[in-house]
Structure 1
């Protein structure tokens, strides 16, 4: 079985194009994004065409299981050990169900690219352990996915980034460079997921010119607040935030969080931008705040951190700000970007070869899996699991 699968992997690596199912499960725990892509070439010749896309919403049982360990300093070690294969098995089941609904045969898919479920992100600047460097942990064992689906699976992408001196995120830098560099305009790809991150592609950029960094909270604080206090998943379109007023004292207190003032590249997560932190900041405010006021302030915080980081780039000439992630659906955020950015900026949503706002991250992991199997090694991330 091993030699047969290795020969199969070698044959896949030599194909002009590969059918790859990219998976993404973000810190918002909304669901599992599945992007079925046709990825041709490799390196600078890479092209990615989206064939099918869906998001399978997580049920409360899955969310509750992950939240037992998510972004917590102390967890039950036995539980954590058991959760890793369970998530991989569960994702494998969701893949099988989706392929059946799509009427896509398993044998027609060359690779699965599985991001896994981040449960803790811990760059060096975030912890006090002098003997240790950067760390991050994604659960969802790739062997479970490969065995459940009988499809070669590439997973655990972030560990190579750490091994090479990075913080394990954001990995969008590599896929963004391969797919979206332009000779004509500067491009800033702004992903507004739980955490906001951007990839900066100056026109005619080489890979050494690319900047990529987390910059602060995207939706994580707004979503968590809505879930705890309003019983809803998120502030749809920013409608609740639009009804509130920005509390300047709370906003200034949030702006003082040290992460905002670190140099890029940098990474962060819900471990820093948590409701516990927000509640501590709110306790320092003397004025009463409605839920709408808090959401208005958090919305403004996201806008502020994006604009602050963009202004520091000092890009010359026409620049496209290309939005993706759930925050791209927040009309209030988008409206503020369009009204406050200089005239040289064009604000637009991602749409290229079928890859759009919601499917981008899953598709980018398909590109990384393609590089792992068929690339030159320059962007080689991920571990390969053979079906067994």
Structure 2
């Protein structure tokens, strides 16, 4: 252990560090791998994205995760087994990627692993005061470090909760350090399974910065597509574009108390799932609605809840640039809704910030790992959504 700690100290003291960020989201598309080179830390950090790849998950992998994903009752033995199994599967994907990039494990200083979220349980959602906020990600860091042969920083969300946060969204830390800009108000919008954004005011006042979930991103769209079309997602919004928005159903979907709660807030597929949709269908008597119309309505639901949250955030008369990332940017109907509903604010993707939009979340966890080993800690801002802590548990390969 002494030698491993000494190695970690050498990494912390290096002028440059190469960190491989890993992200596996609730959409279960695949593992995003972002190879980042860092100079410095904190607000003086310089980041260079050297390589990026997504290794898609196979149907068998997705099926294993869905046995325990976002369910109150699961097979505990299966959950226990998956914790190590996911890490080993990710290690295989890492080795495949490194070979494609002509890199060796010894070229990588650190792995930054988000893990696979299985259940997210903020207090406002479960209501059990004695337990507070909780979240669970699997893909154990020790197993990953041993299988990949690289020091691993993982399980970032637990420290955030321990310090008073909800464990999400964590994007605020990386967004603040990497993408704040003097005199340009920015919103960094991520549309994965759940949609969230970070508000970065152009006056660089850290006390105003916050990050929040807005509601569903792709999770309801993907779940409905799998069930009714036997497809993984609505490619190019083909089904939604054929349908018509049912205004009664849309209104019912938007009625949940979550949308009236103050920022910051978090949620997940534990709430926004097909049961949620079914209740709205029954409430509005639209249970026999054409599938394409339901898809059109779900797309509008995602767009409307994002638009409402953004409009609530940007002060009246202030201009803002939105930089979007995540799978939602590939949905042309969703992007059309956003551009129309948020005009005259400009909507770009994070490609405009030199980060491919599909890579952004993996890059953000690489930033968190860099801060864990080389940063001086995030400064206190007085903002409860940004606890002044470093995050991540460190696992050694030997």
Structure 2 contact 188–197 (Cα < 8 Å) conserved: yes
Q: Which residue of 1 aligns with 2:392?
A: 382
- Match of residue 39 from structure 1: 38
TM-score (norm 1): 0.97
Deviation at 1:318, TM superposition (A): 2.5
Find out whether 1:238 has 2:248 as its counterpart: no
Report the Cα offset of residue 185 of structure 1. Answer: 1.1
Q: Which residue of 1 is the match for residue 385 of structure 2? A: none
Deviation at 1:198, TM superposition (A): 0.4
TM-score (norm 2): 0.95
Where 2:165 maps in the other structure, the secondary structure is coil
Native 8 Å contact 1:219 1:327 kept in 2: yes
- Give me the whole-angstrom Cα distance separating, in 1, the residues matched to 2:366 and 2:353: 14
Partner of 2:304: 304
Q: Which residue of 2 aligns with 1:5?
A: 4
- Report Cα offsets for 1:214-269 as digits up to 9, x if no partner: 01001100011111110111112222211111011111111111111111100000
Is contact 1:48–1:353 with CA below 8 Å preserved after alignment? Answer: no
Indicate the larger mover: 364-373 or 58-67: 58-67
1:102-155 deviations in Å (ceiling 9; x for gaps): 210111110000000000000001113231100000000000110011110000
Aligned to 1:328: 329
Q: Aligned partners of 2:46, 2:329: CA distance in 1, in Å?
A: 24
Alignment partners' CA distance in 1, 2:3 and 2:352 = 36
Secondary structure of the residue that 2:195 maps to in structure 1? Answer: strand
How many Å separate the matches in 2 of 1:110 and 1:352?
A: 28
In the alignment, which residue of structure 2 is the partner of 1:314?
Answer: 314
Deviation at 1:314, TM superposition (A): 3.4
Q: Would you say the 8 A contact 1:244–1:293 is kept in 2?
A: yes
Q: How many angstroms does 1:354 deviate by?
A: 4.0
Distance 1:298 1:113 in 2: 33
2:252–2:284 Cα contact (<8 Å) kept: no
| TM-superposed deviation, 1:283 | 2.1
Using the alignment, how far apart are the partners of 2:350 and 2:312 within structure 1? 23
- Partners of 1:231 and 1:272 in 2: how far apart? 22
Q: Is the 8 A contact 2:25 2:193 kept in 1?
A: yes
Determine if contact 1:181/1:204 at 8 Å carries over to the other structure: no
Matched, 1:362 2:369: no
Matches within 5 A, 1:176-195: 176-195=175-194
> Distance in 1 between the 2:30 and 2:106 partners?
25
SS of 1:347 mapped into structure 2: strand
1:385, CA displacement in angstroms? 0.4
Q: In structure 2, how many angstroms separate the alpha carbons of the residues matched to 1:128 and 1:181?
A: 35
**1:50-86 residue CA offsets vs partner (Å, 9 max, x unmatched):** 1111111111221111111101111111221111111
Distance in 2, matches of 1:128 and 1:70, equals 20
Which residue is 2:386 aligned to? none
Separation in 2 of the partners of 1:64 and 1:27? Answer: 13
Distance across 2 between alignment mates of 1:13 and 1:369: 11
Q: How does 1:228-307 map to 2 (within 5 A)?
A: 228-287=227-286, 288-307=288-307
Counterparts of 1:354 and 1:12, CA distance in 2: 26
The residue that corresponds to 2:159 in the other structure is 160
Q: Distance in 2 between matches of 1:177 and 1:57?
A: 29
Deviations 1:13-61 (A, max 9, x none): 0112211000000001111110111122101012221111111111122
Alignment length (residue pairs): 386
**How big is the shift at 1:353?**
6.3
